[in-house]
Amino acid sequence: MDSLADLGTMPAVEPMEPTPYRVTHSRRETVDVTTLTLVPVAAGLASVLPGQYLMVWAFGVGEIPISVSRTLPTGEVLLTVRAVGATSTAVVGTTVGDVLGLRGPFGTAWPLAAAAGRDLVVVAGGLGLAPLRMAIDAQVAQDPTRLSVVVGAREQPQLLYADDLQRWTAAGARVHLTVDAAGRSWHGAVGTTTAVLERLAERHEMAFVCGPELMMTSGARAVVGCGVQPSDIWVSLERNMHCGIGHCGRCQLGSQLLCRDGAVVRWDHVERLLEVRGR
């Protein structure tokens, strides 16, 4: 097995080896969501495309996939994390100076090149705004007048990135906010992002959708009602990713290994699979 003998002597890149990053800033976004700013301790990872994710490892606890919500020209990455399980709680619990291990970037990106010169609608539910933030930033820089952003959250305090929402609006993008339950201080829309899309009845040519799975399926269908072809709708799907490179088999959805073939996938490639309960 000569070819295999060659592989054995290759300088072995260990795709599972984390790269140390130090926490330089921790910002509490909501009651259980925090955005960390991390800087590489030594050499950093390759540059991240909007929509890609990193595997984030907390020493002695475990590793989870987290979409990158922003990168800075100085090499920092921003990760917006909700404390759900042991690892995400450990990640959210880090303080300035703590070190986490990062691997990646992994997965597919939002197809921004294909969105150039077209009317784009971005639909975000809850934490789903995080993987979309870089894509919205890029589109705002390019052509904000052809961009609509629909953002939904359970309640007003769960709305992420208030500064960015204002900045996108000021730049000329149409930003629509909605909440499931309105408090006394909320004077905006109440209801789902799907309801907002249906009510606005804007015409679009392309859509990026990210949020809870049910929100994405109903959102994608509402976007079809806004004139977008199913092949021009992109969603970001999540499964139990452990390796990021298609080796551990845990992120399968039909024939897709979502860690490798996703997370950003074309709606018409997954619509049928998402209709099957427990697939």
Residues that bind another protein (CB under 8 A): 1-5, 7-10, 12-18, 20, 22, 41-42, 59-63, 84-85, 99, 101, 238-240, 242-243, 245-250, 252, 254-255, 257, 273, 276-279
**Which residue's CB is nearer to another protein, number 10 or number 141?**
10
Q: Let me know: does 152 contact 126? Beta carbons within 8 Å.
A: yes
Residue 178 forms beta bridges with which residues?
152, 189
Min dist CB 92 to another protein, Å, is 15
Q: Let me know: does 178 contact 193? Beta carbons within 8 Å.
A: yes
Alpha-carbon distances of 278 from 34, 116, 252, rounded to whole Å: 30, 36, 12
Edge-first strand order for the sheet with 120-125 is: 189-190, 174-179, 147-153, 120-125, 206-210, 233-236, 264-266
Q: Let me know: does 187 contact 181? Beta carbons within 8 Å.
A: no
How many of the other CB atoms lie within 10 Å of CB of 91? 25
Q: Distance between CA 241 and CA 115 in Å, rounded?
A: 28
**Which residue's CB is nearer to another protein, number 180 or number 198?**
180
Q: Residue 153 in 3-state DSSP?
A: strand
Min dist CB 38 to another protein, Å, is 13
**Which residue's CB is nearer to another protein, number 196 or number 257?**
257
Min dist CB 133 to another protein, Å, is 20
Q: Distance between CA 23 and CA 160 in Å, rounded?
A: 20
Min dist CB 103 to another protein, Å, is 11
Min dist CB 94 to another protein, Å, is 13
**Which residue's CB is nearer to another protein, number 44 or number 62?**
62
**Which residue's CB is nearer to another protein, number 21 or number 234?**
21
**Which residue's CB is nearer to another protein, number 154 or number 199?**
154
Min dist CB 220 to another protein, Å, is 18
